[in-house]
Structure 1
Amino acid sequence: MKLDDIGLEAAGHAFRLRTYQPAEPDGPVLVWMHGGAFMFGDLDMPEADQVARRLCERGVAVVSVDYTLAPLDALPELLPAGEPGPGMPPLPPLSQAPRARFPVASLQIVAAFGWAVDNAKSLGGDPRRISVGGASAGANLAASAGLRLRDRGAERPAALALVYPVLHNEVPAVDDELAAMLAPLPPFLTFPPSSMAAINRNYAGDAVTDPYVYPAGHDVRGLPPTLIVNAEADRLRMSGEAFAAELARAGVDTSVVRERGTSHGYLNEVDHPAARRTIDRLATWITAA
C-alpha cells in the first residue's frame, strides 16, 4: 500500500487529498469523505484512514478528501453547557484551518472526483470505475457531488456508496421501533431535531433547501447505482431509508441495508463485526460498479 498527500484548491479554498494505492489493484477507485456534522473530522480519524486502508487491502484505490469544514457557530446550541454532556466523548481536536459554509465543501468533492479521473491510472485504477462515497456528512457530500456531476453532463461516478447518510433538511419522523432503540442512547447520539436544525444552519445558512445541500425531495433521476448502509439505532436511518425509496421510484439501481446492532458512527470502530461487514459491502459494490 502506498500513501500520498496531494494539495488542491477549489471554491477559493485549499484542501488536501490522501491517496491509498493498493499493492495489488483491481481497478476500482473510491473518492471517500469522512463525517463529522460538517464541522469536525480529518484524514486521520478511523472513519477516514482505517476505512481507506481496509478498502485498499481489498484492491480498491481510495482518494480520501480533507474538505473544508464549516464554522463552529453551532457549538453553543449543540453544547449549551460549553462542554460535552454525560455519555458524550470529548470533542476531537478542532482544526485551525480556514472554515467556510456551503457550497465550498460540495464543490471540492467535485474537484476531487475530477482529480481522480485524471490520475486514476497512477493509482492502479480505471478512470471509468471511479465511485464516490462517504459516511454521515461525508455521505451527504457524496450524494451532492453525484447530483452536480449529473447536472454538468460530464463524467459521472460509476456508483455512490452512502453510509449512515443525512440527506434531508428535516429528517423524517422516527417510528415506534426506532424510538425505543434511541431511548437509552446518550442525547448526542439521537440527533434531535433541534440539533439537526443547528447543524443545517451552520453548514448551509439560508441555502438549506438547495438540492445540492440535501438531495432528498429533489429530482434524483440519472444518479448512478447507489448503495445505502444505515445504522440500526440511528435517527438518520429514516433519512437513508426514505432516500432509498426516492431513488428506486426514480429508476436508480439501489441497494439499502440496515446494519444490525449498530449506532451512528460505527465505522470509527473498524474492528467491530458490523464495520467489517460494511467495509466488505463497500468493496463488493465498488468493485462491481
Structure 2
Amino acid sequence: MTEIHDVALAGGGFDFRVRVYPAAEPNGSLLVWLHGGAFMFGDLEMPEADQVGRRLSDSGITVVSVDYTLAPLDALESLGPPEPGLDIPSPAEIRTTAEAAGPRARFPVASLQIVAAFDWAVANAGEYGADPGLVSLGGASAGGNLATGAAMRLRDRATSLPALLALVYPVLHSPLPAAGAELESLLEGLPPFLTFPPESTQAINANYLGGATDDEGYAFPGGHDLAGLPSTLIVNADRDRLRASGEAFAAELALAGSDVRLVRERGAVHGFLNEVGDAAAERTLGLLAGAITHARPVAVARAV
C-alpha cells in the first residue's frame, strides 16, 4: 500500500503542497479536503486535517489534504485575548509561531490553489484507485468557504465539477446572516472566542479579501449565483454563529436547483472536528464517508 506522502504544487503565484492519504482498500472515491483556521491559521497536522485524512482513507476514500497559502495576520487581534484558565496561546505567541510558517497572501491565492489541487487530483486519481469522475471537494470552516469558491470557479470554467461538495461548519457569507434568538441563546456561556462576534468575523473576512472585489462570489459565495453547483452536504455545529451562514447557504442552493442535505450537530460547538473521539466528530466523519462514497460520478473534461 502506498504510504501517506506530500506532493509539491504551485498555484496563484505561490508554491504549496498537498498531503495524500491513499485509501487502504480504494472504493473509487477521492476527496480534496481543506482545513479551517480563519484563513490565517491551520496546518496539515491539526486533527481537522490529519484525522479527516486518516479516517476517511481507512473507509476506502483517498484524501488529498491541501496546505494552502494562509492570509496575513492583520486580523489576529480581532479574536480578543485568550480566555483565562484555557490552554490557548496569546495573540503575541500565535504571531511568533505563525510568522515562521512561510509566505502569506490574501485572496485569490488560496482560492486558485484549491483549483490547482483539484485538477491534480482529477489527473492523478487513477494512481490511487479512484475514478476521476468521483473526486469530491470539501472543507471545514474557512476551508468550507475555499472549497465552495473553488467549486464556483470550476463551474464557470466549464470543465470538471466535484462529484460532491462537503462542508462542515462553513463560513460562506460576508457579513454573516444575523443570528436568530434561538441561536443567540445557544451561544450564551461560551468563551468569547467561540461566539464569533460580528465585528470579529467581519475583520477576519476583510483581512482575507484584502480590499479585492468579489463580483463572482469566489471569495464569499453566499448571496451570489449558485446555479450549477454540485450536490452538497452541509454539517453545522449547533452552538455556532456560523450556523446562520450554513443554513442560509443551504436554502440558496435549494432555490438554485442543487441537491443539498443540511445536518445540525446538536450541542456541538465550532471546530469539533479538532476533537479526536468527540461524538459529533465521529458522526460527521461517518456522514462524510457515506456521502462521498455514494456520490454520483460526474463527466470529466480535460483540465485547462
Q: TM-score, normalised by structure 2?
A: 0.91
Task: Give the residue type in structure 1 aligned to 2:40.
Answer: M
Total equivalences in the alignment: 286
| In 1: Cα distance, 2:19 partner to 2:101 partner | 19
Matched-pair contact (CA < 8 Å) for 2:78–2:204: no
The correspondence for 2:82, drawn from 75, 81, 84, is 84
Unaligned runs of 5+ in 2: 296-304
Task: Give the residue type in structure 2 aligned to 1:175.
Answer: G
Matched-pair contact (CA < 8 Å) for 1:201–1:208: no
Q: TM-score, normalised by structure 1?
A: 0.96
- Range moving further from structure 2, 200-209 or 154-163: 200-209
| In 1: Cα distance, 2:47 partner to 2:133 partner | 28
Q: List structure 1 segments (4+ residues) > 6 angstroms apart after TM superposition.
A: none
Say what the alpha-carbon RMSD is for the aligned residues: 1.3
Give the superposition deviation at 1:175.
1.2
Matched-pair contact (CA < 8 Å) for 1:56–1:62: yes
Number of the residue aligned with 2:299: none
| In 2: Cα distance, 1:172 partner to 1:12 partner | 33
- Range moving further from structure 2, 225-234 or 89-98: 89-98
Number of the residue aligned with 1:10: 11
The correspondence for 2:179, drawn from 174, 181, 184, is 174
Query: SS of the counterpart of 2:246?
Result: helix
- Range moving further from structure 2, 180-189 or 207-216: 207-216
Number of the residue aligned with 2:147: 142
Number of the residue aligned with 1:196: 201
Give the superposition deviation at 1:88.
6.8
Matched-pair contact (CA < 8 Å) for 1:55–1:279: yes
Task: Give the residue type in structure 2 aligned to 1:207.
Answer: A
Number of the residue aligned with 1:102: 107
The correspondence for 1:230, drawn from 228, 236, 244, is 236
Unaligned runs of 5+ in 1: none
Please tell me whether residue 187 in structure 1 is matched to residue 196 in structure 2. no
Instruction: Report Cα offsets for 1:242-269 as digits up to 9, x if no partner.
Output: 0000000111000000011200000001
Q: Write out aligned runs for 1:1-289 (5 A).
A: 2-79=3-80, 83-86=81-84, 87=86, 89-90=88-89, 93-94=97-98, 95-207=100-212, 209-210=214-215, 211-289=217-295
Give the superposition deviation at 1:281.
0.3
Query: SS of the counterpart of 2:69?
Result: coil
